[in-house]
């Protein structure tokens, strides 16, 4: 036996190490190797074959594991029917890590998204009931920037206007701004020694000083005032509890307004992330009603979308009359607007029967399902998909331009999908479908209606005039014409 003094903390170990109780510990270890690239460092079994102690390493961190032992009160998440604990995993490429975990058998709990604190973040649950949060840090944000992004995303308030001075026309003051920033000032970062990797932690100290008065700021809850948060508590938790409380006057209204704007085409407060006294809602009673519906449903966006779509407002025609021709804010008629970039690409794929490939996600994934926009997709970029580099809704462009017209007229996305040998037109020709059926199918897929008599006649005339040798190309022309019609391109 060695007489050398043992290190109080074994080499390579951190001060805190997760210790997981698993049903089928051996299977869990094998799964973590597959899902998270873990390395196994041995297993110690009891006489009955159960694992008493095992250790894996993921990145630079170790995790202990052992089998359930009900006789000792040791039960895993499946037996307990859930867990309040997450294991947080920082990785270089969270999209790839998330895809790997899901492919291995994890269930997505929270989709990947860019968060206001600078991380790209998502959550999964493994087959053994343990929950993992995965993240890649993308941007270093100051407490001020975190506060600004949080307020704009969750409260619909652009509080950044109060950073330098009390706003002369709005209610927000510098005390509000720096008091909000105080909730995020103890978020710390440090390098881990791995490339492009850092650890996010809660610092024991750190205060925000109001630059004009020199006052040290407490955490401020807007319209409620300052709160004292003990040093052993995370200030963000206190702030988040206030944010999601039903008494909060901002969150439900902000979320309801965003959903209304997305479905109807224009927010009751517009822009949707700019609530202020000088930009009042066009229909405050309606906004209050939607917020109440959202609260009563437990923040169910599905319930609110169903409520809006069942309304008379949503079902109005875009045709104007002498009484509402100048109305732009009161929803007296539907707003005609171009499909968003993601909607348009998905619609083209649906009509042609050819899916768009995206790196790092399963085949057949739609553009609207992507948590993060691809950086090199020209079609999506041209049609205004934002890169999600800022919190402002204004990052998405809805303006039409010449590049969009050229993409639809002769761009490779439309052209290649229409001509694809596995596409709808080619497959129906192989199945010896008649022209009438192919043309009707294209209209149904694109416009959800049968072609009018004159449309059918014009399409069949074009196909007949092209000759049998060019039949497929002529039917592709018909598909191209439908895809370039205003009826297809616009919500109306």
How far apart CA 478 and CA 443 sit, in angstroms, is 10
Question: What is the band of 328 on the pLDDT scale with cuts at 50, 70, 90?
Answer: confident
- Neighbouring CB atoms inside 10 A of 238's CB total 17
Do 110 and 122 form a contact (C-beta atoms < 8 A)? yes
How far apart CA 196 and CA 189 sit, in angstroms, is 13
- Give φ, ψ of 58 to 5 degrees: -120, 115
According to DSSP, the residues that pair with 365 across neighbouring strands are: none
How far apart CA 313 and CA 316 sit, in angstroms, is 5
Of 97-101, 155-159, 221-225, which gets the smallest average pLDDT? 155-159
Beta strand pairing call for 187-191 and 107-114: unpaired
- Parse the chain into domains and list their residue ranges: 19-137, 143-239, 251-335, 341-491
pLDDT, greater one: 112 or 192: 112
Do 136 and 119 form a contact (C-beta atoms < 8 A)? yes
Model pLDDT for residues 300-315, shown as the tens digit of each residue = 999 999 999 999 999 9
Do 314 and 308 form a contact (C-beta atoms < 8 A)? yes
- Please give the CATH superfamily to which domain 19-137 belongs: 2,3-Dihydroxybiphenyl 1,2-Dioxygenase, domain 1 (3.10.180.10)
CA dist 250 to 227, 261, 273, 358, 373, Å?
18, 16, 11, 36, 28
According to DSSP, the residues that pair with 109 across neighbouring strands are: none
**DSSP state for residue 164 in the 8-state scheme:** S
Average pLDDT over residues 63-80: 93
Question: What is the band of 212 on the pLDDT scale with cuts at 50, 70, 90?
Answer: confident
Model pLDDT for residues 469-492, shown as the tens digit of each residue = 999 999 999 999 999 999 999 987
Do 20 and 63 form a contact (C-beta atoms < 8 A)? yes
Please tell me the total number of residues recorded for the chain in this structure.
492
Q: What is the enclosing helix (H) or strand (E) of 260?
A: helix 251-264
**Above 70 in pLDDT, residue 176?**
yes
Residue spans of beta strands (DSSP E) within 126-278: 131-137, 187-191, 198-202, 208-209, 216-217, 219-221, 225-227
> Which of 294, 276, 298 is closest to 152 using CA atoms?
276
Model pLDDT for residues 75-113, shown as the tens digit of each residue = 999 999 989 899 999 998 898 899 999 999 999 888 888
Residue carrying the six token digits 């995790």: 63
**Above 70 in pLDDT, residue 266?**
yes
């Amino acid at each position: 036996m060695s007489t050398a003094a043992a290190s109080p903390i074994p080499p390579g170990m951190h001060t805190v190490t997760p210790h997981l109780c698993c049903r089928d510990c051996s299977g869990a270890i094998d799964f973590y190797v597959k899902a998270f690239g873990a390395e196994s460092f041995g297993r110690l079994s009891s006489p009955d074959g159960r694992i008493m102690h095992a250790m894996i390493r993921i990145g630079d961190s170790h995790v202990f594991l052992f089998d359930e032992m009900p006789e000792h009160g040791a039960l895993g998440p499946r037996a307990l029917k859930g867990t309040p604990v997450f294991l947080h995993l920082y990785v270089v490429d969270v999209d790839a890590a998330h895809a790997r975990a899901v492919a291995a058998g994890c269930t997505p709990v929270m989709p990947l998204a860019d968060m206001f604190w600078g991380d790209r973040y998502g959550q999964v649950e493994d087959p053994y009931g343990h929950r993992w949060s995965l993240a890649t840090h993308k941007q270093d944000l100051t407490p001020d920037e975190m506060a600004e992004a949080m307020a704009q995303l969750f409260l619909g308030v652009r509080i950044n206007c109060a950073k330098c001075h009390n706003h002369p026309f709005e209610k927000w003051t510098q005390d509000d701004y720096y008091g909000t920033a105080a909730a995020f000032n103890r978020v710390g970062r440090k390098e881990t020694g791995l490339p492009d990797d850092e650890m996010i932690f809660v610092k024991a100290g750190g205060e925000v000083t109001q630059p004009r008065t020199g006052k040290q700021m407490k955490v401020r809850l807007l319209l409620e005032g300052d709160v004292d948060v003990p040093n052993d508590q995370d200030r963000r938790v206190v702030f988040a509890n206030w944010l999601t409380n039903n008494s909060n006057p901002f969150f439900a209204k902000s979320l309801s307004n965003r959903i209304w704007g997305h479905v109807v085409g224009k927010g009751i407060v517009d822009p949707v992330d700019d609530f202020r006294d000088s930009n009042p809602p066009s229909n405050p009673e309606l906004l209050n009603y939607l917020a109440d519906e959202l609260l009563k449903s437990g923040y169910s966006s599905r319930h609110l979308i169903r409520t809006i779509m069942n309304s008379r407002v949503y079902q109005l025609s875009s045709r104007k009359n002498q009484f509402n021709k100048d109305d732009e804010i009161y929803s007296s008629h539907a707003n005609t607007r171009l499909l968003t970039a993601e909607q348009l690409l998905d619609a083209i794929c649906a009509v042609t029967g050819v899916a768009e490939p995206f790196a790092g996600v399963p085949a057949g994934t739609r553009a609207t399902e992507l948590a993060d926009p691809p950086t090199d997709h020209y079609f999506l970029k041209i049609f205004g998909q934002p890169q999600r580099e800022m919190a402002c809704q204004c990052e998405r462009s809805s303006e039409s331009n010449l590049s969009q017209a050229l993409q639809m007229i002769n761009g490779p996305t439309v052209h290649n999908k229409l001509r694809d040998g596995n596409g709808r037109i080619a497959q129906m020709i192989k199945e010896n479908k008649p022209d009438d059926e192919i043309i009707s199918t294209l209209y149904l897929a694109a416009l959800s209606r049968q072609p009018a008599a004159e449309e059918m006649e014009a399409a069949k005339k074009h196909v007949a005039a092209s000759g049998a040798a060019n039949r497929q190309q002529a039917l592709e022309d018909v598909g191209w014409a439908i895809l370039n019609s205003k009826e297809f391109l616009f919500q109306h």
